[in-house]
A and B are shown apart, each in its own frame.
Chain A
Amino acid sequence: MSNLQAPRAGAKEPSGLRYPTNGKTIYHRPLNRAKAAELSGASFAYLFSEMVSYASKKIESIQDLEKRLNVQGHPIGLKLLDLLLYREPARSQTRPLNIITLLHFIKNNVWQHLFGQAADGLEKSSDPSKPDEYMIIDNEPLVNRYISVPRDMSQLNCAAYVAGIIEGVCDGSAFPARVTAHSVGKQEEGEMWPGRTVFLVKFAPEVMERENFLGKG
């Protein structure tokens, strides 16, 4: 490949980046500037659809595609965690310290910020053999609003992107988890929420172990 990194002559310099002289850099912008700004839903839909169709090239399975969407959401979650906590009032600026606070933070703060409303539900798995599984429910995920899934890919749920964001928030808070998106809406006529999606959050064993230990103390 021709793009091998050439040895940089100025490698000792702290930063090789150039900045505009008029101060239009990210360091000069208040971090809250775009907090309440709006863009058209269409521009999101166009970008997201390009992202999905780009991700659907050269894939071997639906899981593969969902994995790629998940991976693209992950870094957003990591950054959003810091950004949203920074914007909280000082007294509630602490990071979530247990599973329930973390999940509430996701259901309320993260959802409210990204989608303009809190998620529709938060449940613990009713299966006693799976105490590490929680579910965040969205009746009508905004990201799927203009996505129609072809019949032969019916298991696909593009909200895997949002699952990636959630996973990023969990990982960033030191509660490593795997998060997947599942369509649970019935496809019958008259169904109220055909696009209902469950985000299944499965925490890593060490998280459960710590939680149990702390709970006893």
Chain B
Amino acid sequence: MSASKAARVGEEIWKGRVDKVNAELVVLTYGTIVAQLCKDFDSDYVQVNKQLDKMGYNIGLRLIEDYLAKSNTMRRCSNFRETADMLAKVGFKIFLNITPTVTNWTSDNKQFSLVFEENPLADFVELPDDGRAQDELWYSNIFCGVLRGALEMVQMQVEAHFISDVLRGNDTTEMRVSLIRYIDDELPPEDD
């Protein structure tokens, strides 16, 4: 599917087939989750990032089915570039009504960035002014886990992490996604 077709598909699904709720309910709920984690882990932000990633992973494992059902794409993406477009223009669109920009590909087509013009999760948010949160906490880290979990269920092992965030004072919010490998179900473990 071409990028422009993906954008159209995403728009159509969002308009017609998605059950919606008030955005602030979601935003505030995410906020209270992160705040609670910061409290529970005693402001050990590295642990908070990990826990958010783990929660995202659990979500991703289940979300992929919803994605497949709604997007009605029975066909596999033919390459990782197509995967990136579908992810940004259909996936993010139907769950969060945003379409991050896919950019900064490496020449081997295995790594790209998602740049978030808009990030609904970060509405109303300011990180704690404790001299550390802006250096250590990735507020929206749950996204990384979601991608990892969802793509794993369609045989792609990826690694995702944020490299900048407007909440940290950067000018953009950018996530780096790398394809580690395609997971082959049939392959017996280490058989040569």
Instruction: Mark A residues whose CB is within 8 Å of B.
Output: 1, 3, 5-6, 8, 10, 15-22, 24-26, 29, 33-35, 37-44, 46-48, 50-51, 53-54, 71-73, 75-76, 79-80, 113-116, 142
The digit string for B37-80, where 1 denotes a CB below 8 A from any CB of A, is 00000111000000100010011001100100000000000000
* A76 adjacent to B168 (CB under 8 Å): no
Tell yes or no: B189 within 8 A of A by CB.
Answer: no
- Sample of 6 further A-B pairs with CB below 8 A, known A16-B129, A40-B97: A6-B131, A17-B126, A40-B14, A40-B18, A50-B55, A54-B33
**9 tightest Cβ-Cβ pairs between the two chains A and B:** A18-B169, A37-B23, A38-B20, A41-B19, A50-B55, A46-B59, A39-B23, A24-B166, A39-B26
Name the one of B23, B42, B166 contacting A3, with C-beta atoms under 8 angstroms. Answer: B42
Q: Of B20, B62, B168, B170, which is within 8 A of A41 by CB? A: B20
Determine if B27 is an interface residue (Cβ-Cβ < 8 Å): yes
Q: Is the CB of A1 within 8 A of B19?
A: no
Residues of A within 8 A of B55 (CB): 50, 54
Specify the chain A residue showing the minimal Cβ separation from B98.
A39
CA distance A21 to B18 in the complex (A): 36
Q: Is the interface of B mostly helix, strand, loop or mixed?
A: helix
Residues of B in contact, count (CB < 8 Å): 48
Give chain A residues whose Cβ lies under 8 Å from the Cβ of B155: none
Seen from chain B, the residues whose Cβ lies within 8 Å of a Cβ on chain A are 14, 18-33, 35-36, 42-44, 51, 55, 58-59, 62-63, 66, 94-97, 120, 123-127, 129-131, 134, 166, 168-171
Contact for B29 among A3, A33, A37, A44, CB less than 8 A? A44
A72 touches B33 (CB 8 A): yes
Q: For the complex, what is the distance from the CA of A115 to the CA of B62, rounded to whole Å? A: 24
B21 to A38, Cβ gap below 8 A? yes
Q: Determine whether the beta carbon of B32 is less than 8 Å from that of A44.
A: no
Interchain Cβ contacts under 8 Å between A and B, 12 examples: A16-B129, A20-B171, A26-B124, A39-B26, A40-B94, A42-B19, A47-B26, A51-B33, A71-B36, A72-B33, A75-B35, A113-B24
